[in-house]
Structure 1
Amino acid sequence: MAVSTHLDQFLNTIDDDYVACSICLERYTKPKVLPCLHTFCERCLCDCFEKHGDLNCPACKTPCELQDGGVSELKDNVFMSSLVDLENERRKLASGQYRVCELCEDREVTHFCIECCEYLCENCERMHRKIKATRLHKVRLISELDAQREERPSFVEYVVNCPTHPESKVQFYCDTCQVPVCTACTIVDHRVPEHAHRYLSVAAEEYGMQLKDNVTKLKAKEDCIDANIEAVKKWRVKIHSLFDQEKEKVNIKAEELIQSVGREQQRLVKELNNERDTRIKQTDILIEELKFNHTNVNSACNFAETLMRHANSVQLLSTRSVVTRRIDELLKIRDEWEEPLDGVEFEEASDVVVSNLGRIKADACVKQCSIENIPKKVWKGDEACLFVRTRDARGNDVIPRQKLNGTLNKPNGEVVHLEFSNNYDGTHSTIFRADVEGNNQITLTIDGQAVPGSPFEFSTWTGLVRTIGQQGNGKGEFKSPLGIARDCRGNIAVADTDNNRVQIFNGALIFKNVLTFPNFKNQFKPRDVAISDDSTYFMTDSGNNQVVVSKQGGQPIRCFGQGELKDPRGIAIHPIDGNVYVCSYGSGTVEVYTQDGEHFRTLGAPGSGQVIFKGPHSIAIDSKGTLFVSDSVQLGHVYGCDTVGNMTMESEKLENPRGIAIHSDGYILVISDSPYYWNRGFYKLNRQGKIVSKFGGNESVVNRYDGIVFNVDNISRVLLSDWLNHRLRVFVM
C-alpha cells in the first residue's frame, strides 16, 4: 500500500522534532515530562541526577524537585509514547511490512483495528466483526485513516490500557487525582465519594477547549516576546551609539582636564622658575659684591706688604693714617655667610580638584608682615575680622610655610586661641567675638616672633548703638511706640500706638508691612504684640478692650476678650500649652485664652489665694513655661508665677516697671520708666528677682522706654521702644 507524500514529510518531522530525546538522540524510551514541559528518556534523566546530585532541566535549566521515588515518580508522557508507537507503525506501513493481513498473512490490508492495533484484510475484517469478543471494536478503512491522519498528522486514536489494570481500557478521568483511570480503578483506588470521576471523552473535550484558549494566549505571548526580541535587538544596536557618544564626552572632558592640568603645571613651574631666577640673580649680585670686596682686600694687602718691604721709615709713617683707615674699613666687612633659611615648598591641593594641583609656599619674613584693619572699638557681642598679610624678605606677598598663631586676652582674664584661615593669596583672616566689656589685647606671632603691630589693644563697648525712626505717620515713623515682639523668622512687630497701627520690620529693621483695622467701633489702639509659631499676630487693643488676631497680610481673623479685658496691655503666648496670656491693667488680672479666643482662666484676682496684681503692665514667658509679670502700680515689682497663679518669684522693688524680656541664659530684663531720669533704663534680674546690673539712663536726651526685645542676630543687643521720642533704639548691654 502506497504512503502519501504528506505522510512521508510528517514521518520525517516526527523523527527529527518530536520522538527523539535531546540527550541520547534516540527515540524516547519511557519518556518522562518535567514541570517545564520538556520531555526526556527516563534513563537519561536518571544519568543526569546521578551525575549532578540534583535534577535541572537539560534544556532550560529549570530546577526539578524529585519526590522520594526519584525520576520514576515523574509523570509519563503518554502522548509521546503513543506518538512513538504511531511513528513506528507508520514506518512499518511505509516500508511495506504491513501490506498483508496480520491474521491470514495472505491478502492485502484494507482495514485497521484501533483496539487490537492490527492490520486486516477485507475477509478477516468481516470475521473480526462476527466474533463476539471483537465485534464492538473500532475498525477503520486504511484510506479513511490516511485521510484523517493527513488532515491532522498528530492524531492518535489508539486505545490505551490502564497501567494498573492492563486488561482494562482507560475510560474515565479522576478529577480528584487528575489522572485517567479504568473501570476497575473507579471501584478500587478511586472510589466515590472520596474521588470524583467522569467519562474520559467529556474531560478531554473540556480540557481541549481550555488548552485551545491557553494556546491562543501563549501565541499572543509569543508574539509579544517576538516583538520584545526585535525591540531589544534595536536597543542593542542603539547601545553602541549611546556609549560611543558618552565615550566622546569622556574624551573631550579628559582633553579639557589634560589641558587644564597642563596650564596649571605651566603656572606652577613658571612661578617656581621666576622665584628661582630671582634668587639666582640675588646670588649673582652677592657673588659680585664678594668678588669686589675680595679685590679691595687683596689690593690693600698687597699695598701694605709693599710698604713693609720697600718703604723707609718716613715713607712708611707718612701713609699710616690712610692705610690704617682703609684696613679698618675692610676688616669690618662681614666675612661669614650662612645659607638662608628662605625655603620653598610645593604643597599639594587637599581637595580633589584636577585643575588645582597645589600651591607654592615660601618662608615669610616676620619683619615684612603686617596686621590690617586693627579694630579700635567693637560693640559687645559683635564679631570682628582681622587680616594679617604675609610677605617674604623682599616684601612680596607669599603663602607662608610657617604657622600663624594668635591669642585674644579678654578683660576678665580669659584667653582665647584664634584660628586663622589661610586665604592662599598672602593673607590670613580670623573672626572673633567681643563679648566682655573693657580693654582686650591680641597677640600675633609667626614661628614665635611677634608680627609688627602685635600686641595691640581694642575696647569692647556697651550702650546706645543706633536709633530708628522719628515722629510721624509714614513708613518707619512712629507716634508713641510701645510693645515690641519678634517672630521665629526674625521679623519685628511694633505697636505704633498713637498711629493706631502695628508696623512690621525685617531683622535689619527695614520696613515691610503695616497692620491697620479701621472698621472697629473705636479706634484701634495697640499696646503690645505676640506672634505665634505659624506667624499669626495677637495684638492687644486698649481702644476696644479686646485682642485682635490677624496674619501678616492685615485681614482680621477674630477678636476676643471684650467681656473680661479692661485696658489690655502686655500679651504673650505660652511656649508649651499655646494659650494666650493678656495683662488686663484696668482689672488687675492676667486673663488666659486659647488661641481660638475661648476664655480659659483668670490669674491674680483678689481673694483667689494666688499672686495679687495691682496694675499688670507687661508679661513674658520663659522656655519652661514660667510667667513673669511687671506690676507698675504701687508695689513696683516683677512677679514670677506658674500657669495657675502660684507665685514663684517676687523681685526687688523697681520704679514703674514696664516691658520684660527673657534671655536664653535665664536672666530677666525689665524696663524702668521711672519719673526720675537717673533711674530710667533697664535692669538685669536673676531668677531670684535680685537686681544684677543696670543699663541706660545716661543718654544725652531724655528717654522713656516701654517695650523691649532681644535682637535676632545678637543676644547682647536689645531693641527698645522710646515712646517719648517716638523712635526705636538699639542698645548693647
Structure 2
Amino acid sequence: MASKMASDEFDEEFLTCQVCMLHFRDPKILPCLHTFCKECLEEWATKQQPLECPICRLPVSLPDQGVDGLKTNFYVNNLLDFVAAKKGAEPGVPCQVCEGNVEGSKSWCTDCAVLLCESCTVMHRKIPGTRDHELVPQDVMTAKEGVDKFNRKRHCDKHKNQELVFYCESCQALVCTGCTVIDHRPGKDHNPVEIATVAQKKREKLQELLREIDPRQKEIQASIEEVDKNMSNLNPSKEAATTQAKAYFRQLADLLEKREQEILSKIDEECRADGKALQTKKEAIEFELAGLTSAQTFCQQTVEHGSYVHVLEVGNQVQTRIESLLAKEVNLESNWSEFQFIENTAVEDFANEVENLGGLGSDIDVSKGQVVVRPAVEGFQCVAVLKTMDKKGRPCVVNSNAVTVNMKDPSGTSLPTTLQKSGHVLEISYVPKVTGSHRLDVKVNSQQVEGSPYNIKVQSRDTPVLTIGRQGSGVGELNGPVGVAVDNEDNIAVVEQGNKRVQVFDVNTGQSLRTFSVGGYWSYGIDVDSNGRFSVTLCDNNGVCVVGCYSKEGKLLNTVKPGGTKSYEPRGITVLKDGRMVVVDNSQRSCLLLQHDGSLIREIGKGQLQKPTFIAVEESRGMMYITDMTANKVFVFDLEGEFKFRFYGKGQGEGQFSSPSGITLDKSGNVIVVNHGGGRVQVFRPDGTFIRTVATVQGRHPLGITLTPDGYIAVACFTGQCIEMYRYC
C-alpha cells in the first residue's frame, strides 16, 4: 500500500491545472504524464492541431474517444478530496447533503466525495445503496496525515453498483465480479485475477525503473555542469586567444594591421557562435532532465501513493513513458574546444604570405581525421568528405580557410575543387574530365590528413562505380537478390530469395552491415517507411503470402495479409508516408492499395495489367508507375485507381522496353526504369517522354532498382548475384 503523506507535502500548485490555473476538474493524464483538466484539454485540442502537451510540447495522439478516453488522475482526485474534507472539517461549514448542521462532527464519504453531518452520516449508513460506503471520521479529516484514507472506489461502467476488484490479464482491463461471470468468464480467452496480485507486480516493475532514473539524472546533471564549465571558460579562452593574436600581429607592424582585425573579428564570431551552441546544448539537456524528473515524480507518486486501481490504470502508461526516456539516445557531450590562435607563418617569412597569415584553429588532431572518397564518374560532379576529430577523438568543425586541397588527374594537371561545409564535415567537390587514377592531397593547418594523398579511380559512365556482393550465403555474399531499397541511414537494403534474408550494405564501401532472416520460401519486394522499418513481400512456410514488417534491427514486428482478395502473389511494394501500402499482386494482375493493417482500400489496374512487377509512387501528385514485363510498358494510374496513360512498347530502341522490371523516381519526378532483358537503365519525364539512357547493367537479369540520396542507382542483379551502383546525377 502507499506510504502516508502529510497534508503539507503538497501545495496549491500541485493541485492546480497549468492551463486554467484553477483546481483540477476531472484531471486527465497525457502520455508525457502531465495532468490537465478535461475541459481545458478539450478546448486546447480545438485550437491546436496536431495536439501537443501545453507544458513539454510532446505530440499527443488522442484515443478514439478523444480527451474523454485519456486516463483519469485518481491520485490528484484523492488529494482534492482530502483538501475538501479538511476544509469541511473547519467550524461553520454546512453539510453538503442537507446544506445545514454547521455544528457538530462531520464525516467524508470517499465513495460519494461529499461532506456529511452527523444526521446525514446516520442516514447514509442505513440506506442500502450507501451503507457499505467508506466514511472518514472528523478526527482523520483534521489529522496532518490521512490522505491515504481518501481513495475513491472505482465502479464498473456496466455494473454500476459493483466495485472493480479484478483485472483480466487477457484483455488488460479492470473488471468487477459481475464481469467475471458474464463478459470475462475464466477460460482460454479470459484470465481475471485479483487486482492486488497484478498491481503489486506492476508496482515492482515501476520501482525498478525508479532505481534506473537516479544514475541517469546524475549523468545528465554532470553533463549540464560540464556545459556550464565550458561556458565559464568561453570569455577567458577568448581573451587568451585575443592576447596571442595581438602579440603576434604587433610583430608584423603595418602589413599585418588589417589582417589582425580580421582575426579578432573571427574570434568574436566563433565565440558568439560557440556560446549560442553551448546555450542551446544546455537547454536541450535541461529539457531531457525536466522530462525525466517529471516522469520520476509522477512514477514516485504512483508507486508510493497510488491505489491498486490507480497503479493499474496508469502503470503501463508510466512504464512506457519512462522506458522511452531511458532508452532515448541523448548526446550529452558539449563538443566544444577552446580557442587557439595558430601561427601559420614565421615572422621572417611573412612578406610572401600576407594573405594567408594567421587563422583561428581548434584542437584538431589530423591523425584522427579522414577523407571518405565517394565513387567518382567522368563528367559528373563528385564529392570526397573530410571528417575532422579533436584530440579526444570527437567530431569537430574546422574552418574551411584552414584546409588546403590539391587534386591532379592522371597527367598531373590540377583540377579545380570547391569546399562546402555540411554539418560537421566539409565536402570537397570536383568534376573529373578523364577516367583513370586521380591524386587528392588534403591538409588541415598545413598538416597532412591521415591517409593523404588519396588515389581516386574515376570510372566511365557505363561502368559500375561499385559492385556489392558475390555469390554465396555468407556475410557480404548474395543469392538471388531481387528487391532493393535505401534505408533511413542511406544504406542499401536488398532482399535475397535464395538466402531468405535481407542484407544491409554501406552505400560508400559496399561492406555488409547486418542481415536478418525473413524466412518462408519466397520473397520479392522491399521498402522502408519514414520510421526506418522494413516492409517485405513474401510467402511464409505455410504458403501464405503476406507483407512482413521488420524493425530497423530486423525484428519481425507483424505480418499483414491483404484482405478482400481470393488469391495473392505479391511482387513490388511501396509504403506511403501515411503508412498505407501499394503492393503489386501478380496473381490478380493488379495493384492493391492497402491500409497499414492490410485492409483493402481499392484494387487498381485489374483487366489492364498483364504481368505487373514493380511500382513507384509520386505522392505529391498522387501518381503510381507500374512496370509490366509482359506488356513491355509502364502503366500510370492515380491513387484513386483511375488509369492515366502508358508509355512505350517492346523493342531495343531509345525509350523502348524489353521486360521492364525495377522502377524508381528522382527528386524531379522523372521515372527511372531498368530492362530485365538487356539491362538498359532509362530515364523518362513524368509524362513518359524519353530523356536518356543512363547505363547498361553489366550483371545479368536486373530486377529491383533504387536511387540513393547522393545520386547513384543501385540495381539488384538476380543471376549476377550482386548489386551494381551506377552514377545518375
Name the TM tier (shorter chain).
Answer: 0.3 to 0.5
Structure of greater Rg: 1
TM-score, with structure 2 as normaliser: 0.41
TM-score, with structure 1 as normaliser: 0.41
